[in-house]
Amino acid sequence: MMQIQRMIRSIEVTTGSPSSTPLGLSPERAGVYKVKSPARDSNSSDDSSLLLQSSSCEPSPQSSPYHSTSWSSTASNSSSGTYRPWKFTRKLDKLGVIDEEEVDYGYDVDVDDHNERVNKYLIGVLGFVSLFAVFCLIVWGASRPYTPRITVKSLTVNTFYFGQGSDYTGVPTKFLTVNCSVTMIVHNPATFFGIHVSSTPFDLFYSEITVASGQMKKFYQPRKSQQIVSVNLEGNMVPLYGAGASFAVSDKNGRVPLRLESDIRSQGDVMGKLVRTNHHRHISCSMVVDSGINKVVKFESSCRYA
């Protein structure tokens, strides 16, 4: 607003000043121009434009010593009401008088709304994750009591041969060849998930020497079901070295002490891969075998499960 007022003051023209006459015309021949400032309270559509009116007749181009073609054409345009003697007059006509008022574009409100939506979204996601985690924890806790039941029933001896020989280095020693099978029952008591059952190798020991070994195949046990599993154990020409003498005595008496050991592992997919339950059982069974008789050794209370 102040800029427009300064521009209006700069273009005020009076007939008393020689320098204010256009193109060097005399004061008597020069036209007097009046500038009207737009009223602040006017409702007209032209209240923001500058109105330039001449208070006297336009000077004759022929009577002016500074007559030129451009002035004549300009004067003719002035008589029709479209004359603009200053270049900035056209721009002023397009300007409006605008009061300086504080404009609130609602930026802060939009930012607050956006932040509020983001916070609600994050709270919802965190709440869902927390509830789901608690649910998974509850399901996992409910699945822990369902431990698979492993029962070793018997060991069937197919081959049990004791003899004399030499190892691959030529050292004389006693050898043992064993072929047998272990039978056991695997029961899954869980009511809402199955289990994957696997094991470490089944080892048959005499003293601390492994005389036979076998591997159980991994299998899937459905919920609330059981099945009989058989594992074959083999040992071919196993050197006994220092234990050969004591083994010969036990074999002569028909009572060779052996020990069967293995670890059974089970994994239950309660909720796919998100919730799993794992159990581990160690089996240790003691027995006495007669090499002269191939028979089935039953395990009543000689097995320990840990």
Write out the H or E segment, with its range, that includes residue 213. Answer: strand 209-214
Check if the beta carbon of residue 144 is closer than 8 Å to that of residue 270.
Answer: no
- Which of the four pLDDT bands, split at 50, 70 and 90, describes residue 300? confident
**Domain assignments of the chain as residue spans, ordered by start:** 146-305
CATH, domain range 146-305: 2.60.40.10
Q: What is the pLDDT of residue 11?
A: 57
Q: What is the pLDDT of residue 168?
A: 82
CB under 8 Å to 281, separation ≥6 — which residues?
A: 147, 148, 150, 263, 264, 265, 266, 305, 306
**Average pLDDT score over residue span 119-138:** 90
Q: What is the pLDDT of residue 290?
A: 85
Whether the pTM exceeds 0.75: the reply is no
DSSP bridge partners of 205: 210, 259
The number of helices, as runs of H, and strands, as runs of E, in the chain is 5, 13
Average pLDDT, the chain: 75
CB atoms within 10 A of CB 290: 16
CB atoms within 10 A of CB 41: 5
Q: What is the pLDDT of residue 179?
A: 94
Residue-wise pLDDT tens digits, 245-285: 899 888 888 889 999 999 999 999 888 888 889 999 999 99
Grouping H, G, I as helix, E, B as strand and the rest as coil, residue 35 is: strand
Residue-wise pLDDT tens digits, 175-225: 999 999 999 999 999 988 999 999 999 999 998 999 999 999 999 999 999
**Average pLDDT score over residue span 15-27:** 44
Residue-wise pLDDT tens digits, 145-174: 889 999 999 999 999 988 888 888 888 889
